[in-house]
Every structure is written in structure tokens, then in C-alpha cells.
Amino acid sequence: MNSSSETFPSQAPEEIDGGVIGACVILGLAFTIGVPGNLFVIWTILKYIKQRVHTVVLLLHLAAADLLILITLPLWIYSLLRTWVFGEIVCKLFVYVIMVCMFSSIFLITLMSVERYLAVCQPFLMMRWKSESNMNRCLFLLWMLALLLGVPAFLTQTVTETDGLKQCLTKEFTSKIQLILVLCLETSLGFVLPLVTLSSCYCLVEMQLKKISFSSKQKSRVLIHTVVVVFILCWLPYHIVNITDQVCVYIKHECVPRSLIFSTGALVFISSSVNPVLYTFFARNTRESLGESCLIKLFQEVATSTNKLWETAMQQQNNQRAAKEQSELILLS
């Protein structure tokens, strides 16, 4: 049983239409901006940021995952405009790598929000989380989970041929139950659960910050929030269209325009290229000109922001405990 692909429709285009051209333009922009941008972010962090706090490490892994996704884009652009000439094994491997890195990117963004929640709302629990060994364990489990969740894509992806043109754009399922299970797995673990976690953590953090006096630059705080908002804007249209398209396939009725599937699928890749642009945008006021020093200062601020939040929350909870103990002593006396 055939279904539409993760990011593009299952049928190879007989001719280059507006949807294909639009998708290729988006993918080309994502590659042109994202590859050098993420390389620059990785180089800047590795070379200049000596204070490798958790948030900076997560940003480093996020840039690496996004880079692995983006370097595959020239092959996809060629395939859309021409035909897939690399065989089915390469097709499966490329889709597997993309899905693994996309899952890991989503999990990394979610983990950033969880870390911020712990720093502000659970500062004593944060003391145990702050160790490097705990971070390494979390990253290992995160990547292992992403590798596991990418397996269905490897097993179901296939190359199809239409009018002499081959395309790596189709998933082949043995039953409708398998289709529904894969769809639910991708949507729940790849979007719904991370979105609920992100929203809950940031709402709780904002509520807690209103209760404590915290004076610090807001740039790093707004940066992390913006990364989350961009993630939602890039992924929400894709999942809505993907679910609708899969339901249409289930009832054997084509109700989603092919151009819409192309556009929302290509939009997902924008999420992998936009973060370096955001970093540059937020670093623009660090000095008069953009450049290496701006990003260094921005990442240094990010490195200290969570620690300052944690220290402030810890001090407040210690003060509250001391005040409670003092009031109890007064009552007892």
C-alpha cells in the first residue's frame, strides 16, 4: 500500500509545476543559508566558547543535527527536477538520516526548555542535573531514541517509477494499521509531546520568574523562546497537512493539493537553517558590525543566563526556607 512521503507527495511529477519549483527554491535557500551558518556556529562554539554549560552544548548538537539534514538537500533538489539516480539503498539511508536528525533537533529544543524549567522551578533538582556526566547520558539517550524512531522510515521508504522517472518520495506500508502506527508515532513523539512539554515548561518558567527578582539581559532568554516559536511555525503546517493527507490515503481519496504537500514539506527544512540567522539577528547589537565577536558574546551570554537564573531561584528558595524555619521557631517559643 502506498502513501505520501514524509515531506513530498508519492507521485513523481510528470512535469515541473509551481509546487516543485517553489519547493526547490525553499530547499535551495535552506541549503545556501543553513550549511555555512551552522558550520560557523559549530566552529565558533568549539573554538571560542570555553564555558560549555548545558545550553551551549545543546545548541552545538542542534547545529550538528541541522547540518547533517541540510547537506542532503542538493540531491533532493536534483531528484525533484530530474529523477532519482542513486538507488533504493541510498534512498532509504538518506531518508533515515534526515528523520533521525529531525527527531534529534526536536528533542534538543525540548531538552533546552526542560533545563530552563529545572533551573527556575526546581533549583535543587538542577544541582544533580548540572553535572557533565548527566548531560552526556541525556544526549546519548536522546540520540539513541532518535536513531530508533528513524527505523520505520528506513523500512518503509522506497523508490517508485512513473513515466520513466524514478523518485525517492514514497513510503510503502503492508497494511493500514502499519500506516496509522507510523503516523501516530511520528506525530505524537515528533510534535505533540514536545509541543506540550515546551509549552508547559515555558508557562511554568514565566510564572515563576514573575515571583522572583531577576535582573539580567533578556537577549538570551528571548533567543531561546524564538527558537521554540520558529520550531512550531515550521512544523505545525507539515503535521496538519501530513495527517490530512494520510487520512485521505486511508479513505482512498486525494484531498490535499500536491503543491501544498511540497510547500509544507520544504518548510520543515527551513527550521534547520533558520537558527544561525536568529543567532546573528540577536547578536547584531553586541557591536556595531556583525561578525565573529558578536556570536562569541551572544553564546557567552547564553552560557551564563541559565546559571544566573538557577542561582537566583536557589537563593530565593533558601530564603523562603530560612523564613519558614524562623517563623516556626517563633511559634514554638
Q: What is the mean pLDDT of each run of 10 residues along the chain (333 residues)?
A: 41 58 88 92 84 81 93 90 89 93 91 82 72 86 95 89 81 81 87 89 79 57 76 86 75 73 82 81 52 61 64 63 62 61
Give the domain range for residue 79. 2-332
Q: Contact 298/219 with Cβ under 8 angstroms?
A: yes
Secondary structure (3-state) at 230 = helix
CA dist., res. 167 & res. 62, Å (int): 29
Cβ–Cβ < 8 Å for 217, 301? yes
Strands 157-162 and 165-172: antiparallel
Look up the CATH number of the domain holding residue 205: 1.20.1070.10
Which pLDDT score is estimated for 284? 55
Q: What is the pLDDT of residue 286?
A: 46
- The single residue listed with the C-alpha cell 503516523 is 183
User: What length does the chain have?
Assistant: 333
d(CA 289, CA 230) in angstroms, rounded, equals 25
Q: Could you report the per-residue pLDDT of 118-157, keeping only the tens digit for each?
A: 877 777 676 676 777 888 899 999 999 999 999 998 988 8
- Distance separating alpha carbons of residues 261 and 20, to the nearest angstrom: 10
Number of domains in the chain: 1
